[in-house]
Every structure is written in C-alpha cells, then in structure tokens.
Amino acid sequence: METDYQNLAFEYRRGPDQDAAVAVRHPVVVVGAGPVGLATAIDLAQHGVPVVLLDDDCSLSSGSRAICFAKRTLEIFERLGCGTRMTDKGVSWNVGKVFLQDELIYTFNLLEESGHAKPAFINLQQYYVEGYLAERAVQLPNLQMRWKNRVTGLRQQDDHVAITVDTPDGEYTLQAQYVVAADGSRSAIRKLMGLDTQGRVFKDRFLIADVKMKAEFPTERWFWFDPPFHPNQSVLLHRQPDNVWRIDFQLGWDADPVLEKQPERVLPRVRALLGEDAEFELEWVSVYTFACQRMAKFRHGRVLFAGDSAHGVSPFGARGANSGVQDADNLAWKLRWVLQGLAPDALLDSYAHEREFAADENILNSTRSTDFITPKSEISRTFRDAALKLAKDCQFARRIVNSGRLSMPTVLSDSPLNTADSDSFDGAMVPGAPCTDASIRQGGSDGWLLPHLGGEFTVLAYADGAQAAVAEVAGQLREVSGGAVPSRALLVLGAGQSVADDLNGISVVEDHAGMVARRYDLKARSCYLIRPDQHVAARWRDLSVDAVRDALARAIGQTKGPESCN
Amino acid sequence: MQLNTEPNLPNPDAFYEALIEMHQDLSVADSQMVNAKLILLLGNQIGDMVVLREAMALARKGINAGINAEIKPGINPATSPVADTGSEGRTL
C-alpha cells in the first residue's frame, strides 16, 4: 500500500534544544520543508554538514501545486538520492498540442536527442516530490526535521543568527551560523527582516481543477487559446500520476476567487471540456493570481533566500519549483565549502549573484509567456491572434506562439566564478553552463556521465591515443587533484581505449559512443573544471596543472574578477 | 543605422497599390488583423533584430503616447543582461 502523502501528518517532537540552558548553535538552519528547503538540507547533510530543518506545519503540499519537473531538477534529485523514485512514479511526457478555438494548430515534441539518463519532463504532484524528499531526509542522521516549529524572531549577530521558534510547547531560541530562508512566497523570514520583493502583479485569475478520471486522452500537454468550451480565455490540460488530470482555466481579473472555487461553478466548466457524460471527481480546486517579482538581493548577511521566498514567476513554463531546486543546488555546496573552511565567505555572494541572474531570466521568460496568454491591450491581442492564425501553416509563427517556455537550467554566463575561455571550443558547454549528460561505460557496464560529476569539484580530462599519452594525462590529473583546493579527477577515454596503469584515485570512464567528446567538444588533452553543482567553471584545450589551480581558486571565490589571476 | 531607408522597391506605386488593395472591403478590425499578420510575415523575412528594432523606433518616432503619458527611455531588451543568453527555454 502506497503512502497517502496528501494526508500524511508528521509528528511534532520536543527536542533537546528546547530544554537547553544556553541557545544551541547549529551550522545551518533551513526554514521551510518544501522542495527547496528539503533539497538544500539533504544536500548539506549528505555531505557531512549538520542541518536543522524547521517547518511551521506538519504536512506536505496541500494539493498538487507544482507538477512539472524538468530534467535538470531530476538530475539534482538523483544526486540527492531520490531521482529514480520520482521518475518511476512520474508521468513522462514529450508531446504538446496547441489549439486555437476548436482547431489543432500544431503539435510539438520535446523528445531530445537520446543519451540522457533523465526524461525532458515528468509530471508529478508536489506532495510526492516533498514526500520522497522527506523520506530521504529522515535517512540522514545529521539532518533534524522539526515540524510545527514556527520562526517568530530573527536577529543577525556578527558570527551567528539568533532565531526564536514557537512550538506547541512554547518558544525556544537557537542559533545558526547561516540561515536558508526557503519559506515560500509569503516568507515569514522576509517579513521579520522587513524586506520586500519588487515586480509586476498580473491582473488575471486562474482556476486549477485537478480531476480524477479514467480518460482516453493521451499523455500530452494540451493548450487551448479561446476554445469553444471556455471562450476568450485559455485552458491547459495535463496528466499526473494516479489518473489525475490538471485542468487550468483562465478566468480573467473580474472572476470572484471564492465563488469560482465552489463545485457548482467548477463542475460545469470541467464538463464543458470533458463532455456531459464524463465520469470524474474533483481532487483539488484552487483559484490563483500571480506576480513576476524578486527580492533585490538574495543574500542579507547570514540569511540566504532561496526559491519562492526570493523570486516568483507565472506558472507558465514550470519555472517556480524547478528554479528553486536550482537555487538549492547552487547554495548547498557553497555553504558547505565556507563552513568547512575551504572557501571564503565571499563565495556566498556568488550564490546571490548567480541566482539573481537566473531569476531575471526566469522572470523575463515567464512575463513574456503571460503577455502572450493574457494580452494587455487590443493591439497586443491582435498580434497574438495573428501569430496563432499564421501558426497553422507557417513554421516560423509556431516559434512566436508562447504557451509557456518550459524551464531550462540557467547558463551562469557572467558568474565571477567562471574562468573565461582562452581556447576555442564548439557547443553548449561554455563556462557557467550546466553539464549535459552522456552515455558512458565504466568497468564493462553501461552508465551515465553526470553521476561522476556532482558533489565535489571534478577535473575532467580526455585522453585518446597511445598508452604513453594517456599515462601522461593521468599523471597530470593526479597532480591537479593533489592541490590545496580539493578536487577529484575523471579521465574520459576514447572509444575502445583502456588503461593498464594504476589509476589509484582517478575515476576512468570510456566514451564508448563518442558522446562525451561530441557534447563537450573534446580532443586529446582537453580538460574541464566542473563545479560541485555540475556547472562548467573553466575548460582548456591542453591540460595544465597551473591553469586548473588558478581556475579552482577563482571558482571558490578566492580570486576576485573573471581574469585577475596571478 | 543598418535599416535601409533608401529606395529599394523597384516599383513603389505598385507596392502601395497592392498594400491598399489588400485591405479592400475589410472592417477596421479585420484590417488590423491583416496588418498584424503582414508585419509578422515580413519580420520573419527580415530576420535581423537590429534592423527590426531600428524600423520599430523609426515607425514610432514623433508619435506620442496618450495625452498625459510621456515616452519613457525604456529598457532596451537587446542590452538587458538576460536577453538572448541562449537558455530561454524550450520553444513550444
């Protein structure tokens, strides 16, 4: 019998901190046990940083909420120990259809090139995502989850943050060297600190109806502009696991949010889409508005904001939860490196820098989608309809039609942690890019590249050719990973190559299909420095120990500026 | 300036005539729709954002927004840091 995550209640337990005479200090306190807080806490804990995770509630996401999880998010969850479970439970999809009135105007297919462990997207109710993460979290002895712990006070000191927490047993205080505020769009931490967010509120309302039914619809994303069953508005239909279907109705600004949630208003809308005879039950109903906004700064001293507390987007494009998990991925390793004394505190500034940049990109894309779906003027509506009408026959117009630009991980192209290219490379793996997956072989069995790249800094070098040349690259790799800044070495060998030498301490994979070489534009002796969050930090045509060490220093915030190496 | 404002049409009169004929017997709303489609088609044909932005700016030049509104300098998306970074999402 599968756990009923929707109705799961976690127990409040009185902890030793509540009886301590002096407030107990922890390295990291994460506030908010949503996908972002859980991901941050798990990442830290599984790399040896003790974490306290506070949540003011004792249950998982109410309703399905975020349902689209992108490949990059699944790759991150894989590293956190629950990616496969998510993919197995989720509904993988890659076909979408766009309708104008009662006519199909085009079909798209997200199916990527093969050679990736994870699908482009899965649909999975947020309570499953949180449930699987929570179950992973309890496996980690150095991660303390504290339900019904509400933060009511926060004071920043020179070397810590003092936090007041309210519980069913009354208040207690604790201290944290760093606080991660992952407490959602209505962030209590943000309010306690007197901070706000800036952006644009959209004057439109949407109705979510999650419907349970045995349907004949294929597993596809269907988007209607101005359909006959819901004139002048848009509708989105999407499949989730357990025979649940997400239907998203645009209602317009004048809709009454309370009235529109009543079953007698919702059922006729659903029947108009599904047909009078359809048998279904309502699983969850919600009416929402949204804003595209962000905090001016994601770092305030020892408090770091991540996910919805830091930025908000429209739901079109699945950029909320997916970008929040990327925040967690970016932040966790930096906190660990700073707390373990491996990097200066300034490394945390780069979290804010990189993720503010990413938030701007997400806000730009989601604002553009919203402006297409909800035109703000008559002429905007005319151009929108013109693009839709042309899209039926003209390929170019399909690229203009915007029913959501689905989340892609941000290329951190202007990050101060990057070392600019000095050599010429083709392809997408520029400094700042998230590493792409590829099929490899290791020790005679098939595998994937990405599991060899996360967690630590990795120096990846490519060798192809004579044994002596391979041995030379291996020797240099060993020298690099023995430097002051810890890193590990990964030797990628051309197809059919093997090594006889003792490669103690160096992982070796075989690029049996030439996929790694193609996607990373590798030639013999090409070398990449890859961050713990699997973003490219630097790359060279010729592996050089000094160059790698310079780039490593820059990638942990020791050297300021992109080119000030000395 | 990359926008060509020098004569480029071999027969300007024929072009103008065709443009007006395109709108024959149409309501104002339908004309608006036809114009919008034409602009999208021509925009794709030109395919150069620099040229298109120059054309848009020239078309708008000297035409003020509503009585009390002023033309704001605005943000030029071409120079805003997040535009055209290549990770704008999947085009559906």
Cα A170 from chain centroid? 35
Do the domain assignments include residue A309? yes
Q: Both A302 and A164 in a single domain?
A: yes
Kindly tell me if the per-residue pLDDT of B6 is higher than 60: yes
B86–A contact, CB cutoff 8 A? yes
Domain finish residue from A369, A392, A409: A369
- Please give the structure tokens belonging to residue A112: 């990527």
Spell A119-142 as b/e; 16+ CB within 10 A means b: bbbbbbbbbbbbbbbbebbeebee
Would you report the helix, strand and coil content of chain B in percent, each value rounded to 5? 45, 0, 55
Q: Both A147 and A279 in a single domain?
A: no
Q: Is the dihedral of CA A420, A422, A427, A429 positive or negative?
A: negative
B32–A contact, CB cutoff 8 A? yes
**Bridge partners, A154 (sequence order):** A163
Q: Both A60 and A144 in a single domain?
A: yes
- Please give the structure tokens belonging to residue A27: 């390295």
| C-alpha dihedral, A129 to A131 to A132 to A138, nearest 10° | 140
Most B CBs within 10 Å, among A360, A372, A373, A401, to test the B interface: A360
Kindly tell me if the per-residue pLDDT of B69 is higher than 60: no
- Look at residue A565 in the predicted model and tell me its pLDDT: 39
d(CA A430, CA A172): 48
d(CA A444, CA A422): 36
The Cβ-side half-sphere exposure at A515, using a 13 Å CA radius, reads 20
- Please give the structure tokens belonging to residue A191: 């309010």
Q: Both A214 and A329 in a single domain?
A: no
Please count the residue pairs, one from chain A and one from chain B, whose beta carbons lie less than 8 angstroms apart.
76
B52 closest CA partner among B63, B64, B65, B39: B39
Coil/strand/helix, residue A443: coil
Exposed, middle or buried by CB within 10 Å (0-12, 13-18, 19+), for A388?
A: buried
- Look at residue A59 in the predicted model and tell me its pLDDT: 94
Where residue A300 sits, what CATH number does that domain have?
3.50.50.60
Amino acid letter at A484?
A
Pairwise CB contact (< 8 Å): A386 & B81: no
d(CA A150, CA A168): 10
B36–A contact, CB cutoff 8 A? yes
CB atoms near residue A36 (< 10 Å): 31
- Cβ pair A221, A93 in contact under 8 A: yes
Where residue A272 sits, what CATH number does that domain have?
3.30.70.2450
Tally the domains of chain A: 3
Do the domain assignments include residue A419? no
Residue for token digits 């509630």? A57
Pairwise CB contact (< 8 Å): A379 & B32: yes
Do the domain assignments include residue A377? no
Q: Which residues of B touch A323 (CB under 8 A)?
A: none
Q: Which residues of B touch A120 (CB under 8 A)?
A: 90
Strand A197-201, strand A150-156: pairing:
unpaired
Do the domain assignments include residue A415? no
- Look at residue A277 in the predicted model and tell me its pLDDT: 87
Do the domain assignments include residue A399? no
Nearest CA in chain B to A357: B82
Q: Both A319 and A183 in a single domain?
A: yes
- Look at residue A98 in the predicted model and tell me its pLDDT: 95
B66–A contact, CB cutoff 8 A? no
Q: Which residues of A touch B39 (CB under 8 A)?
A: 383, 386
Q: Which of A110, A386, A413 sits opposite B37 (nearest CB)?
A: A386
Nearest CA in chain B to A362: B88
| Mean predicted lDDT score pLDDT of chain A | 93
- Look at residue A112 in the predicted model and tell me its pLDDT: 65
Give all strands (DSSP E) within A205-300, no chain letters: 206-212, 221-225, 234-240, 244-250, 281-288, 291-295, 299-300
Q: Which of A98, A387, A408 sits opposite B87 (nearest CB)?
A: A408
Q: Helices A320-339 and A347-373, interaxial angle, to 10°?
A: 180
Residue for token digits 């990736």? A116
Q: Which residue has the higher pLDDT, A175 or B70?
A: A175
A457 closest CA partner among A537, A526, A516, A524: A537
- Look at residue B76 in the predicted model and tell me its pLDDT: 40
Q: Which residues of A touch B88 (CB under 8 A)?
A: 361, 364-365, 405, 408
Strand A303-305, strand A170-181: pairing:
parallel
- Give, for all 566 residues of chain A, the pLDDT tens digit: 688 999 999 999 999 999 999 999 999 999 999 999 999 999 999 999 999 999 999 999 988 999 999 999 999 999 999 999 999 999 999 889 999 999 999 998 887 678 999 998 999 999 999 999 999 999 999 999 999 999 999 999 999 999 999 999 999 999 999 999 999 999 999 999 999 999 988 888 999 999 999 877 888 999 999 999 999 999 999 999 999 999 999 999 999 999 999 999 999 999 999 988 889 999 999 999 888 999 999 999 999 999 999 999 988 889 999 999 999 999 999 999 999 999 999 999 999 999 999 999 999 999 999 999 999 899 999 999 999 999 999 999 999 999 999 889 999 999 999 999 999 999 999 999 999 999 999 888 999 999 999 899 999 999 988 888 888 898 889 888 877 788 999 999 999 887 755 577 789 999 999 999 999 999 999 999 999 999 999 999 999 999 999 999 999 999 765 444 33
- Cβ pair A40, A133 in contact under 8 A: no
Strand A311-312, strand A303-305: pairing:
unpaired
Q: Both A317 and A347 in a single domain?
A: yes
Pairwise CB contact (< 8 Å): A394 & B41: yes
Strand A281-288, strand A206-212: pairing:
antiparallel
Exposed, middle or buried by CB within 10 Å (0-12, 13-18, 19+), for B39?
A: middle
- Please give the structure tokens belonging to residue A280: 């279904």
- Cβ pair A422, A540 in contact under 8 A: yes
Residue for token digits 């959602």? A184
Query: What one-character-per-residue DSSP string does A224-247 give?
Result: EES-TTSTTSEEEEEEETTTEEEE
Do the domain assignments include residue A246? yes
A413–B contact, CB cutoff 8 A? yes
Coil/strand/helix, residue A262: coil
- Please give the structure tokens belonging to residue A343: 């990097």
Domain finish residue from A308, A339, A369: A369
Provide the residue range defining the domain that includes A278: 206-288
State how far residue B56 is from chain A, nearest Cα, in angstroms: 15
Q: Both A75 and A149 in a single domain?
A: yes
- Cβ pair A542, A462 in contact under 8 A: no
Please report which confidence band the pLDDT of residue B89 belongs to, taking 50, 70 and 90 as the band edges. Answer: low
A27–B contact, CB cutoff 8 A? no
Q: Which residues of A touch B44 (CB under 8 A)?
A: 394, 396-397
Q: Which of A365, A389, A398 sits opposite B37 (nearest CB)?
A: A389
Q: Which of B40, B81, B89 sits opposite A400 (nearest CB)?
A: B40
B41–A contact, CB cutoff 8 A? yes
Q: Both A244 and A309 in a single domain?
A: no
Phi (first) and psi of residue A182, to 5 degrees:
-115, 45
State how far residue A201 is from chain B, nearest Cα, in angstroms: 19
d(CA B29, CA B40): 17
Pairwise CB contact (< 8 Å): A402 & B92: yes
Task: Provide the whole-model pTM.
Answer: 0.92
Do the domain assignments include residue A37? yes
Q: Which residue has the higher pLDDT, B47 or A501?
A: B47
Pairwise CB contact (< 8 Å): A390 & B37: yes
A96 closest CA partner among A120, A73, A118, A116: A120
- Look at residue A561 in the predicted model and tell me its pLDDT: 53
Q: Both A351 and A224 in a single domain?
A: no
Q: Helices A35-46 and A126-137, interaxial angle, to 10°?
A: 20
Cα A373 from chain centroid? 24
Query: Judged by CB atoms within 8 Å, which residues 426-485 of A form the interface with B?
Result: 428
Question: How many residues in chain A?
Answer: 566
Exposed, middle or buried by CB within 10 Å (0-12, 13-18, 19+), for B84?
A: exposed
Q: Both A70 and A139 in a single domain?
A: yes
- Cβ pair A365, A394 in contact under 8 A: no
Q: Both A443 and A517 in a single domain?
A: yes
- Look at residue B80 in the predicted model and tell me its pLDDT: 40
- Look at residue B65 in the predicted model and tell me its pLDDT: 81
- Look at residue A428 in the predicted model and tell me its pLDDT: 95
Do the domain assignments include residue A330? yes
Q: Which positions ≥6 away from A405 have C-beta within 8 Å?
A: A316, A317, A365, A366, A368, A369, B88, B89, B90, B91, B92
State how far residue B81 is from chain A, nearest Cα, in angstroms: 8
Q: Both A46 and A132 in a single domain?
A: yes
